[in-house]
Amino acid sequence: MHSRPPHETTLVSSHPTSDGLVSYLRCECGAWEVRTSTMVVSTSPRPSAASR
Ligand SMILES: [Zn+2]
């Protein structure tokens, strides 16, 4: 079994909130990652939307 390498994300912006710092990161493949002090949420790039 291969384990995929993580997305190579670049920090786009970060905002301090009442729950702590929330950071938005984006990968070259179009995926987004949102990191908070308590969790990390990854979104996959949409298959057919906004292809440039
Ligand atoms: Zn990626």
Strand ordering across the sheet containing 9-17: 9-17, 20-27, 32-35, 40-43
pLDDT at 48: 62
Q: 7 CA distance to ligand 1 centroid (A)?
A: 4
Q: 13 CA distance to ligand 1 centroid (A)?
A: 17
pLDDT at 49: 56
pLDDT at 3: 75
Q: 19 CA distance to ligand 1 centroid (A)?
A: 27
What is the pTM (predicted TM-score) of this model? 0.69
Instruction: Count how many domains the chain has.
Output: 1
Range of the domain at 31: 9-43
In this structure, are strands 40-43 and 32-35 parallel, antiparallel, or unpaired?
A: antiparallel
Residue 28 is given by DSSP the state T
Which parts of 1-52 are beta strand (E)? 9-17, 20-27, 32-35, 40-43
Report whether 38 contacts 20 (CB < 8 A).
yes
Q: 34 CA distance to ligand 1 centroid (A)?
A: 13
Q: Is residue 34 part of a domain?
A: yes
pLDDT at 13: 97
Tens-level pLDDT at each residue, the chain (52 residues):
677 777 889 999 999 999 899 999 999 999 999 999 999 999 888 766 555 5
pLDDT at 46: 73
Q: Is residue 3 part of a domain?
A: no
